[in-house]
Amino acid sequence: MNLSQARVVDPVLTTHVRGWRSQERVGHYLFPAVETTVRAGKVLEFGKESFALYNARRAPGGDTKQIEFGYEGKPYALYQDSLDGKVPREFAEDAAKVPGVDLGIRATNIVMNSLTLALEYEQAQLAGDANNYPAGNKEILAGASQWDNAASTPVSAISQARNQIRTQCGVYPNVLVLGPKPYNALKNNNQVTARFKNIDIITPELLAKLLEVDYVVEGRAVYADDAGAFKDIWGNFATLAYAPPKPNGIEEPSFGYTYTLSGHPFVEEPAWNRGIKSWLYGVTYERAPVLTGVSAGYLFQSVTSG
């Protein structure tokens, strides 16, 4: 018996969690989810060969040339996160029957909020780590170059970064992900507000048009540290990158992916726990965010002075 046969899945709630979305989660813009059928292997990474021109001409009777996109890079292993959503008996209309779908959805929503927060943190850690980028695809801002400085020119800096990405991987970036402080500094910067003199509110959509990307997204998610203090998951950095919003598979070039085990996340059928007199909804999510094409990304560090 394999694992898929051993588990009993709730089809309604599984469909719900696979479509679960939160506006506070933005990591998928840089690390879109792609399915994998294995829990460990080598990351399919991309270099300039993914955009090379190949001579596909074939003479009669001649050999057919071969092409392969990507190459096996660093090893990866999926992480299995699993939590039970609890519905106490008192919350159910009738203790003798399973709670309605609405209570099940509420229970799994709480679990998915926790599981995706952990994923968001991992994605931000990868995107904000300067060690992951080549030398020409990152810079530390200081003084007059920081975006909350009146003399800074972030629009020009981002334009230069766009061109750098294109020279490295052959495509322009399509997304800019940044933390709350960098986002506020960008939208209130003199070089930006000068372009929108007659507009009261500068929206992400307006910024995207100005910066020539498809998406400008603010990472608003926070987490509580061991002392109980809230901290931004997306800190004082901004990541400009190319990642397909709806990838066809891991063979499509991208800054990063979230390798997700086929069939995940899923919800098991609710189980009654007599000891705590509650129904438990087990949610399992096996995945790992990975960098697959760092040349398709550009990192701005220390974006603001505070």
Does any domain span residue 65? no
Report yes or no on 101 lying in a domain: yes
Whether 135 maps to a domain, the answer reads yes
Domain contains 63: no
The verdict on residue 187 lying in a domain is yes
Q: How far apart are the first and last CA of the chain?
A: 56
What is Dmax (Cα atoms) for the chain?
77
Residues 6+ apart with CB under 8 A from 125: none
Residue 86 is predicted with a pLDDT of: 86
Q: What is the pLDDT of residue 45?
A: 76
Q: Are 245 and 31 in contact (CB under 8 A)?
A: no
> In 46-130, which ranges are E strands?
71-77, 79-88
Decide if 60 is inside a domain.
no
Q: What is the pLDDT of residue 224?
A: 92
With contact defined as beta carbons under 8 Å apart, do 69 and 46 qualify?
A: yes
pTM score, two decimals?
0.84
Q: What is the pLDDT of residue 53?
A: 54
Q: Which residues contact 228 (CB under 8 A, 6 or more apart)?
A: none
Q: What confidence score (pLDDT) does residue 4 get?
A: 44
Long-range contacts of 220-227 (CB under 8 A, 24+ apart): 220/23, 220/24, 220/26, 220/180, 221/24, 221/25, 221/26, 221/117, 221/120, 221/121, 223/117, 223/121
pLDDT value at position 97? 55
Confidence (pLDDT) at 38: 83
Is 53 a domain residue? no
The whole-number pLDDT of residue 248 equals 83
- The CA-atom distances, in angstroms, between 288 and each of 36, 47, 76, 219 are 10, 21, 8, 19
- For 177: left if phi > 0, alpha if psi spans -120 to 50, otherwise beta; the answer is beta
pLDDT under 50: residue ranges of the chain: 1-6, 71, 95-96
Question: Per the domain annotation, does 58 fall within a domain?
Answer: no
Could you read off the pLDDT of 14-31 as tens digits, one per residue? Answer: 666 666 566 789 999 999
Instruction: Write the pLDDT tens digit of every residue in 248-273.
Output: 877 788 999 999 999 888 888 888 89
Count of the separate structural domains present in the chain: 1
pLDDT at 105: 84
Question: Which structural domain, as residue segments, surrounds residue 130?
Answer: 3-48+72-301
The CATH number of the domain holding residue 265 is 3.90.1690.10
Q: Is the dihedral angle over the CA atoms 298, 114, 75, 52 positive or is it negative?
A: negative
